[in-house]
Amino acid sequence: MTTTPYWVAGQPATSEDLVEIRTPHDGALAGRTSNATAEDVERAVAAAHAVAGDFADLPAHARATALDHVSRRLAERADEVAALITAESGKPVKWSRIEVTRAVSTFRWAAEEARRFSGELQRLDTDPAANGRLALVRRAPRGPVLGIAPFNFPLNLVAHKVAPALAVGAPIVVKPAPATPLVALLLGELLAETDLPAGSWSVLPVPNEVAGGLAEDPRLPVVSFTGSGPVGYSILDRVPRKHVVLELGGNAAAVVCPDWTDLDRAAQRIATFSMYQGGQSCISVQRVYAHEDVYPALAEAVVAHVRKLGTGDPTDPATDVGPLINEAAARRVETWVDEAVAAGARLLTGGRREGATYEPTVLADVPADCKVVDEEVFGPVVVLDSVPSVEEAFDRVNASRFGLQAGLFTHDVRLAFRAAKRLAVGGVIVGDVPSFRADQMPYGGVKESGTGREGVRAAMEDLTEQRVLVLTDLEL
């Protein structure tokens, strides 16, 4: 098997520190790459620092053309890319195909936003002292970016680092997750087909312990991290003077209100998006608070839909739920569920592990201090609970230290607005589960779910800072 190269300032490279990537499903070899050497890491960072000024000055059409090219090439190679995502992460291929489609859109949105990221004009003669003055407010890159990506969306979450950075003219050094570097390296292959300047991007597989040194490097003034809270906050603590964007975890909740009539649809959406990708999504449905009037019928329907989900070989298009990223992750989920059952929770379905695969699991009557309620499970587990009122449901949603997104099943627009005001989350999805995300919308959380926002336009603003030019003695 050939060794997939990593990318240093746009050029392929390999080292003797070989890394084999094996699929979580059966341990088959998915591919092989190598960890970047210390010398190559230094070359990548130095090149990003050196090209920053020239890259910021690159015309918008040049950046947009490169982003369009990547979007188009991802679409052309969609089947190959989806198969690689499945091979290295164990994600069912039906979800891998959706991830590729989303990444195609992410790069297309970035190309479009690169063309219209123009700033704004402000007339200043609203005060007599500023007669004849006009402000031109534009945004400039904060500087080169370190993008640290997780394993659960090995393509699209890398895209959410790379595409906005390139769109604003900020060089980026990408550190993919050690478990899933291959798709990020394939993305490097597509970037290498463009005319982007040397040093404007690098993709470096390195062990996690190397990331701390990269985060501290003063030549990378922006750090964009997606992953676990403890790691994210440790980065923030290490570099308090840098601009740090953190997209962290959650234990997303769905509220089902008494006016919601299509309980089977709500149950189907809850079942699907609590278990999809093995629950390894920070906005997968983990907690459900249903009004007592609808709870019995909803709970019965959720269990029925969960039992219909296809499990097994992730390369089979009929598979809905595949393995977790490794057996250790599945063992942790198993332990948390067993602890909840021992504390009095009722196991409605599931609860068994085989290797890295954990059976889709529904729990009820779970004590509030159990890990499956209080922590982020990041596994195929959903907790159902009955509440006497919608206000009680809102209180239970807010009781979490996380606040990424929440779902609200209601037809009452006034209740939707009240939820948006009351719920301490980054986004409220009305009529659906919290797992919905459009790649062009602002996305991120509050409390311990992170700082800053992803979503192409929002990320472009996060990676840049305002620059103001004031013009004087104008006829306005």
* Concatenated DSSP letters of 343-357: TT-EEEE---EETTE
Q: What is the pLDDT of residue 329?
A: 98
Q: What is the pLDDT of residue 476?
A: 87
Residue 379's closest CA among 356, 397, 400, 399?
356
Catalytic residue (choose from 282, 359, 376, 448): 282
Q: What is the pLDDT of residue 428?
A: 98
Do 76 and 131 form a contact (C-beta atoms < 8 A)? Answer: no
Q: What is the pLDDT of residue 414?
A: 98
Q: What is the pLDDT of residue 157?
A: 98
Separation CA 307–CA 288 (nearest Å): 17
CATH 3.40.309.10 residue window(s) in the chain? 253-440
476 residues of the chain, pLDDT tens digit each: 799 999 999 999 999 999 999 999 999 999 999 999 999 999 999 999 999 999 999 999 999 999 999 999 999 999 999 999 999 999 999 999 999 999 999 999 999 999 999 999 999 999 999 999 999 999 999 999 999 999 999 999 999 999 999 999 999 999 999 999 999 999 999 999 999 999 999 999 999 998 889 999 999 999 999 999 999 999 999 999 999 999 999 999 999 999 999 999 999 999 999 999 999 999 999 999 999 999 999 999 999 999 999 899 999 999 999 999 999 999 999 999 999 999 999 999 999 999 999 999 999 999 999 999 999 999 999 999 999 999 999 999 999 999 999 999 999 999 999 999 999 999 999 999 999 999 999 999 999 999 999 999 999 999 999 999 999 999 98
- 351 token code pair: 């609860």
3-state secondary structure of 428: strand
Separation CA 325–CA 300 (nearest Å): 30
Residue 335's closest CA among 303, 380, 372?
372
Given phi > 0 = left and psi -120 to 50 = alpha, else beta, which region is 341?
alpha
Q: Which residues contact 460 (CB under 8 A, 6 or more apart)?
A: 110, 113, 117, 139, 164, 167, 168
- 420 token code pair: 């948006």
3-state secondary structure of 225: strand
Q: Looking up tokens 């990003």, which residue turns up?
A: 48
Separation CA 312–CA 321 (nearest Å): 7
Q: What is the pLDDT of residue 1?
A: 74
Separation CA 347–CA 341 (nearest Å): 7
Domain with residues 6-248+450-468, CATH architecture: 3-Layer(aba) Sandwich (3.40)
What is each CA distance from 110 to 161, 165, 291, in whole angstroms?
Answer: 11, 9, 41
Q: Looking up tokens 């037809």, which residue turns up?
A: 411
Q: What are phi and psi of 386, to 5 degrees?
A: -100, 140
Task: Tell me if residue 247 is catalytic.
Answer: yes
Catalytic residue (choose from 88, 112, 247, 327): 247
- 408 token code pair: 């609200």
Q: Which residues contact 15 (CB under 8 A, 6 or more apart)?
A: 34, 35, 36, 37, 40
Q: Which residues contact 261 (CB under 8 A, 6 or more apart)?
A: 411
CATH 3.40.605.10 residue window(s) in the chain? 6-248+450-468
- 439 token code pair: 């790649």
Residue 224's closest CA among 475, 458, 419?
458
CATH number for region 253-440: 3.40.309.10
Helices assigned H by DSSP within 348-426:
371-374, 390-398, 413-422
